[in-house]
Amino acid sequence: MISVSRLLSPRFYAIQQRSVVKMSASATQTAGGVSHGSMAIKPPSHPTYDLKAVIELALAEDAGDTGDVTCMATIPFDMEVEAYFLAKEDGIVAGIALAEMIFEQVDPSLKVEWMRKDGDYVHKGLKFGKVTGNAHKIVVAERVVLNFMQRMSGIATLTKLMADAAYPARILETRKTAPGLRLVDKWAVLIGGGKNHRMGLFDMVMIKDNHISAAGGIINAIKSVDEYLTLKNLDMDVEVETRTLEEVREVLEYVSGSKTRVSRIMLDNMVVPLENGDVDVTMLKDAVELISGRVETEASGNVTIETVHKIGQSGVTFISSGALTHSVKALDISLKIDTELALEVGRRTKRA
């Protein structure tokens, strides 16, 4: 079992010197609704995704048609407080810029200060941010902010581990993201040091097994794609999935003798799991040798934190892993007004 704290400790992960970034939630927004005040890494682009609407939906499902009944009953509406972000385990923090957007939507007068930025290492027990302002509004925003930050930080932490282990190959996520959170999940992958695969069905052609079966073969599918892109005057990358070395040879023969948009070959399930927990990458290496740099290559299937290093040494350009987003373990983060009591409880439960 690989220790997150060992791989992500300051000895392994360079951190810039401690600095404090102060900002008002109302002063950091662009016309598009995305904060750039502490945005170390910008979100990926999407032609129709409305991040502000996603935040509004998250806040609305929490508030329902009544609002925060507990806050209204227990917290004086004019009370001002400071609340601190606490890391309860080691990892890579992500979602700081998104948190600012949420605070802005709840109350533009809230003041936020960060001692870390997206992509930085945090250790258990660290206070890495502070929000100051109306207590009621801070508590209303708390759970939505943490839900996003914990998920994004979990994705970023696993991505950092996988990206470091995969080198010199680049680690990619897939479309196996939480419904409605495609851009958020893929943003977290970027923050963790990964590279984004296609955003959706619209920005890249990926010819997979079902397309190949329906088209009557792998070459028929590629020809149909090339003809369609020419007909529609579309300029985009094309990736084709292969499952056998024979399919790799077929694609290479077509690429060598035809004008085609194919720029990447996916080598699917060519990593063979062994009974002892190891993997056999012989078939994968044979495929990479056949391709010999003529197009990019992508390994897919049986990719885990334990196997990704061996796969990365095979010569592939990319390694894709759905687990980065579909099986994410959230990083434990809290937002506390009484941090001393929170730390006391944390120490008692071994979480701080």
Any idea which residues carry the catalytic annotation? Answer: 143, 176, 208, 241, 268
- Terminal-to-terminal C-alpha distance of the chain: 22
DSSP 301: S
Between the CA of residue 178 and those of 82, 83, 217, 324, 339, what are the distances in Å? 32, 29, 32, 11, 32
Q: Quick one: 329 exposed, middle or buried, by C-beta within 10 A (0-12, 13-18, 19+)?
A: middle
81 phi, psi to nearest 5 deg: -140, 170
Residue of 111, 153, 261 lying closest to 161 (CA atoms): 153
- Based on its alpha-carbon atoms, the radius of gyration of the chain, rounded to whole angstroms, reads 23
Residue of 347, 329, 332, 330 lying closest to 86 (CA atoms): 332
